[in-house]
Amino acid sequence: MLAVSLTFASLAVAIAFLLAPRTAITASRAPEATSTGQVGQLLPGDPVRGKELFTGVARFQKGGPPCLACHSVGGIGALGGGQLGPDLTAIGLAAQTLAGQQAVIQILTDFTGRPTMQAVWGQHPLTDQERADVVAFLTQAAIGRRPTGVVLILLAIAVVGSLAFWGLALVIWRRRLREVRRPLVVAVTAGRSQ
């Protein structure tokens, strides 16, 4: 069992999330955690900028790695992202409520009980605007799904690549198979005639 220590603030946010009604809110009303870790008014988040930050197209101001290096979220990338951290699609669904957004902001502010996140983000905390943008993106990404066409293209690439590999192997090793097979056939045929 994983030992996770929760602060009183993160526990209160989790309880508020569980008790909150499931209604969507706009990004401009979303809560924001200040540098002191207290929840305040969230800046309006830009989901396009959040996607750029999440995927690494745009850099975080304080130099942290892109979220996609460790996490995945529905509808992003052909292969879906990293596997070190959890899939954030459910987090995005939770962020559609006020309490859920508070919980996500708390996660992006306080890394207590998450040693990997603490090691990576402890020295490179997100700015308030970056948090707002990432939360706005996660809220939208949770609704989206990876297009079926992308999966079919990946499957086609895998099949064609496999066929090309085996075709090349057959061409390269055909002569070798004959050279190995011929002495064996001669040895077996010579053994029968004696």
Question: 33-37, 46-50, 63-67, 135-139 — which is least confidently predicted?
Answer: 33-37
Q: Which residue in the block uniquely carries the two structure tokens 């002495």?
A: 183
- Which pairs with CB-CB distance under 8 Å and at least 24 residues apart come from 88-93? 88/138, 88/141, 89/141, 89/142, 90/142, 91/138, 91/142, 92/138, 92/139, 92/140, 92/141, 92/142, 92/143, 93/142
176, 139, 171, 168: which is closest to 51 by C-alpha? 139
Which sign, positive or negative, has the C-alpha torsion 121, 125, 128, 130?
negative
pLDDT more than 90, % of the chain: 11
Residue 176 pLDDT greater than 60, yes or no: yes
Give the Cα separation of 164 and 29 in Å (integer). 54
Q: What is the pLDDT of residues 35-64, one digit of tens each?
A: 444 444 567 788 899 989 988 899 999 888
The mean pLDDT value of the chain amounts to 74
Residue 174 pLDDT greater than 90, yes or no: no
DSSP 8-state assignment for residue 27:
G
Give the Cα separation of 183 and 194 in Å (integer). 17
Contact 31, 101 (CB under 8 A): yes
